[in-house]
Chain A
């Protein structure tokens, strides 16, 4: 009897495993995110904002943001959903146009910080020794300087404008990613699969890019989604400091303008920009959390 039982169990077990083919980390993550309705909605919001940004930069949307559409400071109405600003321009159009700055700042900043973080982190973690000490010293030093002071100093040097905003935010936000990547690469470089690749003659570059990098990619993706929204928020601070973009609408400038408008009861510019920003930043936050839950194996099963 016990013998028969085991064989039945085995059969059932193989049936179960056959019905459920094991998934890769990415397969699991994808399934989990699709199941999570909040994450799916957030993803769609991000996609919609990106489309708006692209459409407005090509001139399909809000092309006439500079036109005077009514009197100065008209309150929100059916005609002008977010009212007008001091020059009688439509706040709705400015908000749409501002998406362009926000999304591009988020994207470029996140790319710059991801590139620096991965390059430094992987080099330090993989080669170890003196190179590691040097990079660790560099980022310890760098992160000892308050973020806002670095931002200010870098924009002083680069001057004002969109390009300066990209670089200032990108150059100041790579340390946390660098630390994580360094630690992960250190953990991976002595694993059997890397040793095996080394044994058949793989060079350092191949080892890092082809073998180790796919195993730390999830950290980069999580960092990317976090950095995207942090950059959107930081753009507002830079605008307040007078170091932001010039000559085109951005949410930061709109919020900053409100400091003179609120006393006159003009709240719609602040409201529109804050709302537009709130939705996309919230979406990135939720998406980032969902990605972390889905991609970080340590959190699995909690």
Chain B
């Protein structure tokens, strides 16, 4: 199969996946979920009230039309209005994206650099005390609930010691920094455990390959082997792992944002969950799923360009 026909087929496969994602969302929210008109009105609502609310929310339309609407929204980003705030959802998302990104992007970049460096170091000392210790600390870090980190961090470092802002947010470039330092630190701590473990496994997988032995046999130094040979090959799975996290940056950090009152998409989603605001939840689900699908395709295509072996199988 030629390169281009592979890429073309891969792009074509996106269509059934998008239709499927919209189908699942449609099934969950429009078909099996309890009638939102009933939950929004109280028990004593009259039949007429229910009917008029259902019409207002567009729930009286044929199911097929409702499904097509969801599919359309995946491309036009026209998600309608929120049920609770009556705002245009697209505007809400636009407003929430910046605060979310001021938190998730630094956290993402810092933890990627930090984790890759630690795992390189650990792989260098593989089998030794440092290696075992770091792996154990990673596992221990992963064994604590995310909520416990946030609660403890906010209470101890911000409230007791007063080192950081307890919560809140300010718009604009330098102003937001004091508000996101602690959330970013917590986010890095949360992701460092699983990340280091994954990167370490990937790097160790390469270290035991024959080409590394060959490189060693011809007298190359350990540093050259590590950076020029091992890291280059380990970079493919590492980059995939990193790229695939990008779509989730838009979803924001649900827990962190709501605890630190950062008015981002995460807080918005949680508020929507608490008030059963289906259109907002649906919009965020569609948006994240679309981003995920696009990024998987991009990684797959990049894969085929970088590594010819993928095309053959």
Contact = CB atoms under 8 A, between A and B. Distances in A.
Interface of A: 137-138, 140-142, 144-146, 148-150, 152-154, 156-157, 229, 233, 236-237, 240-242, 251-252, 255-256, 258-259, 262-263, 267, 270, 273-274, 277-278, 281-282, 285-286, 289, 302
Nearest to A147: B248
How many residues of B sit at the interface, in one of the four size bands? 35 or more
B147 A255 contact: yes
Contacts of A289: 139
Contact of B17 (A144, A236, A273): A144
Nearest to A302: B208
A153 B33 CA distance: 8
B251 interface: yes
B159 A145 contact: no
Nearest to A137: B16
B254 A148 contact: yes
Interface in B1-53: 16-17, 20-21, 23-25, 28-29, 32-34
Contact of B144 (A157, A240, A274): A274
A236 B154 CA distance: 18
B101 interface: no
A205 B23 CA distance: 32
Given A156-B33, A282-B139, A286-B139, A237 B255 contact: yes
Contact of A240 (B147, B288, B289, B292): B147
A49 B20 CA distance: 41
Given A153-B33, A262-B155, A274-B148, A145 B24 contact: yes
A149 B288 contact: yes
A142 B16 contact: no
Interface of A is mostly: helix
A293 to B, nearest CB: 11
B299 interface: no
Contacts of A262: 151, 154-155, 159
Interface in B271-313: 273-274, 276, 281, 284-285, 288-289, 292-293, 296
A141 B21 contact: yes
Given A270-B152, A281-B142, A282-B139, 16 more contacts: A142-B24, A144-B293, A145-B24, A145-B288, A146-B251, A146-B292, A149-B269, A229-B143, A236-B146, A236-B148, A237-B146, A252-B145, A262-B155, A270-B148, A286-B139, A289-B139
B34 A149 contact: no
Contact of A233 (B145, B274, B292): B145
